[in-house]
Amino acid sequence: MIGMTTGISRSHRNPSFGSDVKVVQVSKQVKKKRKHVAQRTCVGCRSIQPKRSMVRVVRGADGVQVDQTGKMPGRGAYLHESRSCWELGLKTALARALKTELTPDDLSRLAAFMHTLPEDEPTEPVPGG
């Protein structure tokens, strides 16, 4: 009997092995799972929002540009669709997030996109604050 394995065959196993397992009947109602929503931080105002509500700016091989699809290759950073966030981002935060220096060509391209965004609504000052 050389070459035979010395395992336990099915006939020698405990016949009551499966008796400890409880079968739980699943109700016919289907529980819907919530889908995960990706969160990103705006580099301008530093608030966290869903990824789909922001504009992605990407540093690619041909410079820094706005990524409307969100699928371009390269290092990305996110900004809200508001001019105030873009103004703050274009000062220093965007260059730091993309780990690059923004060239004058990049700045003009991003500023042109920023001017297509709607004007921010002026916030009313809070009385006593």
Q: What is the pLDDT of residues 68-91, one digit of tens each?
A: 998 999 999 999 999 999 999 999
Whole-prediction pTM value?
0.67
Strand order in the sheet with 75-79: 63-67, 55-60, 75-79
Residue range 45-54: mean pLDDT, rounded: 93
Query: Which segment of 4-8, 27-31, 45-49, 91-95 scores lowest on mean pLDDT?
Result: 4-8
- Residue 34 CA to residue 20 CA, distance in Å, equals 34
Which residue, chain included where needed, has tokens 């995960």?
36
pLDDT band at 129 (very low <50, low <70, confident <90, very high): very low
Query: pLDDT by residue (tens digit) across 4-20?
Result: 555 544 545 555 555 55
What contacts 28, CB < 8 A, 6 or more positions away? none
The full length of the chain comes to: 129
Give me the pLDDT at residue 23, please.
54
Superfamily per CATH, domain 39-114: YlxR-like (3.30.1230.10)
Query: pLDDT by residue (tens digit) across 86-112?
Result: 999 999 899 999 999 999 999 999 999
H helices of 11-114, where? 83-88, 94-98, 104-114
DSSP letters spanning 20-39: GPPPPPPPSPPPPPPPP--E
